[in-house]
Amino acid sequence: MTRLSRVMEAVDQLHSDELFDVDVVDVTTDSREVRPGWIFVAVRGTSFDGHTAITNAVAAGAVAIVAEIAPNGPCGVPVVTVKDSRLAFAQIVRVVTNGPATGLHIYGVTGTNGKTTCATILEQMFALAGRRVGFIGTTGNRFAGEVLATNYTTPHARALADLFLEMRGHSIDTVCMEVSSHALDQHRVWGVPFRGAIFTNLTRDHLDYHRTMEAYGRAKKRLFDMLEPDAVAVLDADSEWTPYMKRHCKAERTITVGRDVDADVRIVDVDLSLRGASFALVRRRSDLQNIPPRLECTTSLLGDFNVTNAAVCAVMCLAEGISDADVVQHLSQVSGPAGRMERHLLPNGAVAVVDYAHTPDALDNALRVLRKLHADSSARPHIHVVFGCGGDRDKGKRPEMGRIAALHADFIWLTSDNPRSEDPADILRHILGGIEGAVRERTTVIEDRRDAIRAALAAAGPNDVVLVAGKGHEEYQIIGLERLPFSDAAEIIAIGTAGRSGSM
């Protein structure tokens, strides 16, 4: 245990009462978890203000209160006021858990789209290179053969500390993790000693939280702000936000990768097929000694966007000392994560694809890939898309996703996707507002997601492609306050498939 005075030395304080000379057992932002010897940090959330629970926390045995607003009058224990309670919480967590990430090589991936795929590719490539690897992200937290379900892309600071400690206990030496904009904005990863970081892209998402793209971008750049000089940052050269991220990056080894002619490492000679893709990486900077002048690569992942995902991961591995030959071999062996371009063959020869595409950019990419890969087929397949938009989230993207579906799909099936507290019919009307032209007559609205999937699959002809977008790996549907069991892939399998052929 650590003395209270030492713990509070780590906190950016505005004001502090005189501190008692007591031991601190732990820290929490949930007053219901408080036990004798704990510090309670009052956080203002979207639905509950922790400042209203200070009295309860003291009654439960809290030895100190950290808050942005001091309570009216004495509360019986020292109160430390701070500008940002979430930051203070992360600072305290690091002290009471005694630097939980010490000794771990941690690689973070941030961006609107591609986080899960890139983190999964890195996880597999480092493991194939002989490292003991842990994974933290949307599809679960896993290490040493264990898979732990998660409600967050990036856990809160205390839960993250526990994960690091548990991984160290299982002799994990490398962690590949997704780093969400919420986590960065809320300081969940404050103090995490990232060895490397990848930036994929920044497109419209989470504006219900960030409000503006500028605020969204500021949150993302925090990952690069916190890198040490000896870290490595790999940035997608084709994103318009990369110059901004690069300006704020503290890592001395910052490498841009992409098709842009000014990229430090260029992606050239891309050849896409239903079997995957081949491409070459061409080094343009002579000081990048770990990266060869030209490297021929292949991947089983499909689509232009997955070429970029594979390329940035390959460059990260090269920068971290994995040999050229191993990078090429390992990249050819990796598979995509569940619910990302996950293909299921239907008995009549049609193909159903489950993908997490829940943003305008991701839906555009997924539909473009499917259209392009099947364009040369003599069967002239139709593209069907089944999708909706989440409730209580950015409403502005709904008509935009409708517009994108109308641009690329032959048949559209609008349905629910975690409507939460909103009326599903209202959400569907918002999406429908973006669908214009002839495809409007080929748009069907079916509120129940199970029924919509079944209708789309029943309508699909031989060789047609049905993209079921938005939920990917998720095994639930949030309706009202209930989280009900539901899986897009399971629904497709239940209807009857000729088998899953894996991720594209």
Closest alpha carbon to 393 in 188, 220, 182: 182
The CA–CA distances, whole Å, from 65 to 87, 94, 215 equal: 14, 17, 30
Angle at alpha carbon of residue 339, lines to 333 and 342, rounded to 5°:
60
Find the mean pLDDT for residues 203-213: 83
Angle at alpha carbon of residue 243, lines to 240 and 249, rounded to 5°:
135
**CA–CA gap between residue 57 and residue 437 (Å, rounded):** 59
pLDDT of amino acid 372: 87
List the chain domain ranges: 2-96, 105-333, 342-503
DSSP per residue, 402-428: HHHHHHH-SEEEE--S--BTS-HHHHH
Tell me the per-residue pLDDT of 418-470, one tens digit each, with 9 for 90 and over. Answer: 999 999 999 999 999 999 989 999 999 999 999 999 999 999 999 899 999 99
In the chain, the percentage of residues whose pLDDT exceeds 70 is 98
Instruction: Please determine, for residue 139, whether its predicted confidence score (pLDDT) is greater than 80.
Output: yes
DSSP-derived 3-state class of residue 284: coil
Instruction: Please determine, for residue 272, whether its predicted confidence score (pLDDT) is greater than 80.
Output: yes
pLDDT of amino acid 495: 84
Closest alpha carbon to 374 in 467, 298, 270: 467
Find the mean pLDDT for residues 89-101: 96
pLDDT band of residue 293 (cuts 50, 70, 90) is: very high
Tell me the per-residue pLDDT of 323-351, one tens digit each, with 9 for 90 and over. Answer: 999 999 999 999 999 999 998 999 998 99
Q: Which fold has domain 2-96?
A: 3.40.1390
The CA–CA distances, whole Å, from 494 to 337, 451, 499 equal: 21, 12, 11
Find the mean pLDDT for residues 308-330: 98
Environment class of 298 (CB within 10 Å of its CB; exposed 0-12, middle 13-18, buried 19+): middle
pLDDT of amino acid 31: 96
pLDDT of amino acid 287: 94
CB neighbour list of residue 46: distance below 8 Å, 6 or more residues apart: none
Neighbours of 480 (CB within 10 A): 11
Q: What would be the CATH architecture of the domain defined by 342-503?
A: Alpha-Beta Complex (3.90)
Tell me the per-residue pLDDT of 376-411, one tens digit each, with 9 for 90 and over. Answer: 666 678 999 999 999 999 999 999 999 999 999 999
pLDDT of amino acid 246: 97
pLDDT band of residue 239 (cuts 50, 70, 90) is: very high
pLDDT of amino acid 502: 52
CATH 3.40.1190.10 fits 105-333, yes or no: yes
